[in-house]
A and B are shown apart, each in its own frame.
Chain A
């Protein structure tokens, strides 16, 4: 969320515009809020220290990714300024080199996007529906259903993988082959398995997080809608979804990161070809060729970081001050 500087009209206009676009009408006090300095000197020092400590390891990798292989293995990255040898070779090798031993990240990069985007959409929508039902449709055992779903978070992936894989081979495989026969442009190795697996493993946490926020929507609002004769479907689409945009966006960001960074599910369900396998799987393969390819790994790891950071920055404005700002008084 962009903060307002002083009380310049332009900034306020921008602020209100951003707020309006994300479905909010903020009241005046929030829009004219002035910036403060950090609360005290101690707080400043603490915040700076944490920021530096948290950034340092990644910075080390960043510097290393611009150093030639022999230097990476013999000198510390903090000496990069003394042992001058900055180069873009690592990046050009992982991205552009067409030799069979080179990483050739392009295809995997597309796969990562193709896996992640649909999963985020599926998981967020299904979880929002379930969370709404659990929070607002009165039924005797609803609490127990919620407890059950919550408890499923801890079923370790490693244990669920094998049974799920068996189910997929008996049901999905024939369907995929048939589809490939009908529409040749779709390969017989499709994303469907990975999608379904990710959605299943993401749902318990998604329902838990969304439920916590959806259940806090003011009761009067809901009851007013019920009195006006709205069905649950209408309440969900017209009230709950618009009000939950910040939490839906927050969850979508996290889900995006989890799926994008996942390795285990991909290893089991993607088949490992350039048709389906995501970037992390390629990275792990490269990491397996230990010893002489660290320079490639540094560059490849950085490339895999770029998209998640873009996602985080571009969606940040949804972390809005006030979940229900301006929608209700009280």
Chain B
């Protein structure tokens, strides 16, 4: 990299930021100059326009196209529900669905559970910052990095040679035979789930910790004065106080889990019965030249999220009534 390159890059960043600032400044200026008639409507549109425009181009239009694609075959002819029939009848596709459900049940519950307990226990303790950072570290690691890291845990060497994977070393210490972890069906899926839990827990800890700090200290002190035990305080003050934070955490982790792709791709490539919907989607659409099947899988993924969305909307409605 030459100095000229570097200057060019910095110039690009500054130009980008300046342009953006100019656009936002203009929008805020226009908002303040809103006409008297239809003022609310005009302001709403201006506030939402930039985000909605981007979303329409980059997500909404592709989503609609995908929905259409899911009813076509390789040649792009309309074939009705064939791709969906394939998905719910072929054993390998059913296995993919089953794996995804396993992921979605285990990852959010365990990550949030551990994260919540941890956040409560370290709250206002000595070294809270260090505790938080240690668990947060995996969030800061890319999936590529995580794949490399976990190689040093799950790696297999034949029994005659020294193990370089920690898990097999522990098995050997206890007198067992080393196992090809990532090629043992069912166990391997659980081990991949462990990696995802490892990555997501830090997110839960940080958000829940911030929520816990948002609870008015008067409430906690009042409970303490009333002689509430730690458990009662947690049940009756902390939990209701962080409900919003919990909903955010569970929702975000669940959606991230439904979309999990990199971990499976990097660690097993979806082989040995570990495939999940997002990975299968990629395989079908880009490797097996079956865009219709890929799109159908994407649509099923979308349908799986609908209940989560509905629940969130209900929470939101409640909030609005209270306000």
Contact = CB atoms under 8 A, between A and B. Distances in A.
Interface string A301-312: 100110011001
A123 B313 CA distance: 23
What's the dominant secondary structure at chain B's contact region? Answer: helix
A34 B70 CA distance: 60
B305 A153 contact: yes
A40 B309 contact: no
B141 A43 contact: no
B134 interface: yes
Interface in A117-158: 117-118, 121-122, 125-127, 129-130, 132-134, 137-139, 142-143, 145-147, 149-158
Interface in B241-275: 244, 247-248, 251-252, 255, 258-259, 261-262, 266
Contacts of B313: 143, 146-147, 150
B171 interface: no
B203 to A, nearest CB: 7
A320 B210 CA distance: 7
Interface in A97-125: 106-107, 110-111, 114, 117-118, 121-122, 125
B41 interface: yes
Nearest to A219: B323
A207 B305 contact: no
Contacts of A323: 214
Contact of B48 (A134, A191, A261): A134
B52 A110 contact: no
A152 B162 CA distance: 49
A76 B163 contact: yes
Contacts of A3: 124, 128-129
B12 A114 contact: yes
A125 B278 CA distance: 30
A60 to B, nearest CB: 5
Closest 9 A-B residue pairs measured CB to CB?
A200-B58, A133-B47, A261-B142, A308-B140, A321-B213, A233-B31, A160-B62, A130-B51, A107-B1
Interface in B84-124: 114, 117-118, 120-122, 124
B285 interface: yes
